[in-house]
């Protein structure tokens, strides 16, 4: 038996209040809007096969076979999910992460969010 340890123990997923493993915050907090079709497909697969801690040891070859996905597409989809903050990956282990702590995409800020530099710049403009 293989002993598994979470990659991010502070992000263990929990069953959301609305009952299913697919957390409504995927839509409400717009995570899903930032996923390509292959990334969303990979995420659904991982949520489905992961254990209670969100851990899965499915190999890339098996995932590609099951999802009829090219290995390069799988690698790109995995990278998207990591960047968005939905999964962690340390070969060969995947971890579906809990959504308890919002993860901000630093490359494309959400409307209304500003960098600290922008906030200080705005303060300076108001005081002028």
pLDDT along the chain (128 residues), means of 10: 86 68 83 95 94 92 98 98 95 90 47 56 58
Q: Rounded to whole angstroms, how far apart are CA atoms 39 and 79?
A: 9
Q: Quick one: pLDDT at residue 127?
A: 55
- Has domain 9-100 been given CATH number 3.30.565.10? no
Q: What is the reported pTM?
A: 0.67
Site of tokens 């991982």: 46
Sheet of 87-90: strands edge to edge?
55-56, 93-96, 87-90
CA distances (Å), origin 77, targets 3, 35, 82: 27, 8, 9
Domain ranges of the chain: 9-100
């Amino acid at each position: 038996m293989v002993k598994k340890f979470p990659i991010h123990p502070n992000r263990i997923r929990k069953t959301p209040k609305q009952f299913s493993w697919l957390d409504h915050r995927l839509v409400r907090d717009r995570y899903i809007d930032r996923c390509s079709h292959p990334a969303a497909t990979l995420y659904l697969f991982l949520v489905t096969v992961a254990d209670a801690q969100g851990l899965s040891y499915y190999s890339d070859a098996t995932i590609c076979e099951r999802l009829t996905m090219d290995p390069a597409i799988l690698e790109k989809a995995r990278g998207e999910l990591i960047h968005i903050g939905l999964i962690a990956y340390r070969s060969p282990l995947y971890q579906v992460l809990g959504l308890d702590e919002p993860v901000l995409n630093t490359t494309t800020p959400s409307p209304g969010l500003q960098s600290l530099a922008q906030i200080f710049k705005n303060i300076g403009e108001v005081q002028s």
